[in-house]
């Protein structure tokens, strides 16, 4: 497949992945009257079933045996599962409780929180533009706090839990589908136990709200896995700079849904806070694109320099070989050494005196 076709396919996968995530606020209300915790439990159970089936079809199980021999990685996966469980549950609750805009804010500021984690926990060094973006983001949180009358705790909790999830996954080293399979494997038994507990108390909506409701709850697994599959298809075809830009589609779509579809209030101070967040993200994106462009330029120049050096070395080697070949004559050995010369007498009759002299010379000095 041609590179341009690969790029277009990657863009299609990317738009599909981030588009599906952006439309989540339309999906979760369909699962009511189930509350957020019951929806979360169904999401965990059916996600494992769907991801397990996908991995079975793709025959991608080679990662499992090495993982089982590494308790530390399993512990990190358990921490990641806890972080994403909190993130999923809070997000479902916020959407179904009328806080779509604040949930979108959480995913807008998530890149800024991830950068802060990198500085504080990984001792990463920031470029000036990144410092500026983090500073603008902090001012935005202050403005939004004044606007809400309290800390935007939903947004901050979503941002920090997802940033923690990303930080832990960085050390786990599993791809999207494999990671989700490992995490939901740890989530499965507690989630299934909770659903059975609800059923024993007659509080489960899975069997009491009709077949359509049950199918919607089951579909939570496919809704969780499908964008991950699409994201995997985009990640192997697109540069990271493009992926970084596409990620803003999700909170943008969620924000627009919160304002236009769910008619959530946006007083002037919230617009001001969101504007500052968007400014911070613009600075961050500009810096990332500029750095990526500069890095590609450096790589091209390094590649050109290496090619010139290799060509010069090849030319020097060819010149040396040519000189060695020119020095090889009829009395020269391949290594350049002179063959011993044999002086032959001129052709013609050989007298008896000449023959006797030749024999004496061949015998050498006496005693040899």
Per-position DSSP letters for 42-82, written without gaps between them: HHHHHHHHHHHHHHHHHT--TTHHHHHT-HHHHHHHHHHHH
On the question of pLDDT at 327 being above 80, the answer is no
pLDDT at 291: 86
Q: What is the pLDDT of residues 20-45, one digit of tens each?
A: 999 999 999 999 999 999 999 999 99
Q: Binning pLDDT at 50, 70 and 90, where does residue 326 land?
A: low
SS3 338: strand
pLDDT at 328: 54
Of residues 37 and 243, more confidence is placed in 37
pLDDT at 367: 44
Q: What is the mean pLDDT of residues 128-156?
A: 92
Q: Compute CA distances 73 → 52, 78, 169, whole Å.
A: 20, 9, 10
pLDDT at 306: 83
Residue 93 is given by DSSP the state H
Q: Binning pLDDT at 50, 70 and 90, where does residue 302 land?
A: confident
How would you label 314-324 residue by residue, b for 16+ Cβ within 10 Å and e otherwise? eeeeeeeeeee
pLDDT at 2: 56
CA-wise closest residue to 114 among 82, 78, 74, 83: 83
Q: Binning pLDDT at 50, 70 and 90, where does residue 296 land?
A: confident
Q: What is the pLDDT of residues 99-132, one digit of tens each?
A: 999 999 999 999 999 888 888 888 888 899 999 9
What rounded mean pLDDT belongs to the chain?
86
On the question of pLDDT at 1 being above 70, the answer is no
Q: Are 113 and 160 in contact (CB under 8 A)?
A: yes
Q: Are 158 and 110 in contact (CB under 8 A)?
A: yes
Q: What is the mean pLDDT of residues 326-331?
A: 54
Q: What is the pLDDT of residues 198-220, one digit of tens each?
A: 999 999 999 999 999 999 999 99
Q: Are 172 and 80 in contact (CB under 8 A)?
A: yes
On the question of pLDDT at 152 being above 50, the answer is yes
SS3 203: coil
Rounded distance between C-alpha atoms, residue 282 and residue 366, angstroms = 102
Q: Which of 265-274, 281-290, 349-358 has the lowest mean pLDDT?
A: 349-358
SS3 332: strand
Widest distance between CA atoms in the chain: 134
SS3 151: coil
pLDDT at 321: 80
How would you label 54-80 residue by residue, b for 16+ Cβ within 10 Å and e otherwise? bbeeeeeeebeeebeeeeebeebbebb
Q: What is the mean pLDDT of residues 247-270?
A: 95
pLDDT at 364: 47
pLDDT at 6: 86
Q: Is the dihedral of CA 38, 40, 42, 44 positive or negative?
A: negative
pLDDT at 206: 96
pLDDT at 139: 95
On the question of pLDDT at 47 being above 60, the answer is yes
pLDDT at 363: 45
Q: What is the pLDDT of residues 343-365, one digit of tens each?
A: 444 444 444 444 444 444 444 44
On the question of pLDDT at 224 being above 50, the answer is yes
Q: What is the mean pLDDT of residues 166-174?
A: 88
On the question of pLDDT at 74 being above 90, the answer is yes
Q: What is the mean pLDDT of residues 314-320?
A: 81
pLDDT at 361: 46
For 137, the token pair is 């983001």
Q: What is the mean pLDDT of residues 330-353?
A: 47
Those residues with Cβ within 8 angstroms of residue 134's Cβ, 6 or more apart along the chain or in another chain: 112, 115, 116, 126, 280
How would you label 229-248 residue by residue, b for 16+ Cβ within 10 Å and e otherwise? bbbebbbebbeebbbbebbb
Of residues 141 and 304, more confidence is placed in 141
Q: Which of 78-82, 207-211, 236-240, 248-252 has the lowest mean pLDDT?
A: 236-240
On the question of pLDDT at 338 being above 50, the answer is no
Of residues 29 and 7, more confidence is placed in 29
């Amino acid at each position: 497949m041609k590179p341009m076709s690969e790029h277009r396919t990657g863009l299609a996968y990317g738009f599909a992945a981030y588009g599906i995530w952006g439309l989540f606020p339309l999906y979760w209300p369909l699962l009511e009257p189930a509350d957020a915790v019951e929806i979360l439990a169904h999401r965990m159970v059916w996600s494992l079933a769907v991801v397990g089936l996908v991995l079975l079809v793709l025959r991608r199980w080679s990662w499992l045996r090495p993982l089982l021999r590494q308790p530390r990685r399993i512990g990190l996966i358990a921490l990641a599962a806890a972080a994403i469980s909190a993130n999923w549950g809070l997000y479902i609750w916020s959407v179904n409780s009328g806080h779509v805009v604040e949930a979108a804010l959480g995913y807008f500021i998530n890149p800024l929180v991830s950068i802060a984690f990198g500085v504080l926990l990984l001792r990463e060094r920031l470029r000036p533009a990144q410092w500026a973006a983090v500073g603008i983001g902090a001012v935005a949180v202050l403005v939004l706090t004044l606007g809400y009358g309290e800390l935007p705790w939903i947004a901050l909790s979503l941002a920090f839990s997802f940033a923690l999830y990303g930080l832990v996954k960085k050390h786990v080293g599993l791809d999207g589908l494999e990671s989700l399979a490992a995490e939901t494997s740890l989530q499965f038994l507690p989630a299934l136990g909770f659903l059975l507990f609800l059923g024993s108390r007659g509080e489960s909506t899975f069997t009491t709200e009709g077949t359509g409701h049950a199918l919607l709850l089951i579909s939570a697994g496919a809704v969780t896995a499908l964008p991950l599959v699409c994201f995997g298809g985009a990640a192997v075809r697109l540069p990271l700079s493009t992926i970084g830009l596409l990620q803003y589609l999700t909170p943008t779509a969620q924000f627009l849904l919160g304002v236009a579809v769910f008619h959530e209030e946006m007083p002037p101070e919230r617009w001001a806070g969101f504007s500052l967040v968007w400014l911070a993200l613009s600075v961050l994106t500009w810096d990332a694109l500029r750095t990526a462009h500069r890095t590609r330029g450096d790589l091209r120049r390094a590649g050109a320099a290496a090619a010139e050096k290799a060509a010069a070395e090849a030319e020097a080697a060819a010149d040396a070989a040519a000189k060695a070949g020119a020095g090889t004559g009829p009395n020269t050995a391949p290594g350049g050494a002179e063959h011993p010369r044999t002086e032959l007498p001129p052709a013609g009759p050989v007298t008896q005196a000449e023959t006797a002299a030749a024999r004496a010379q061949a015998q050498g000095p006496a005693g040899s």
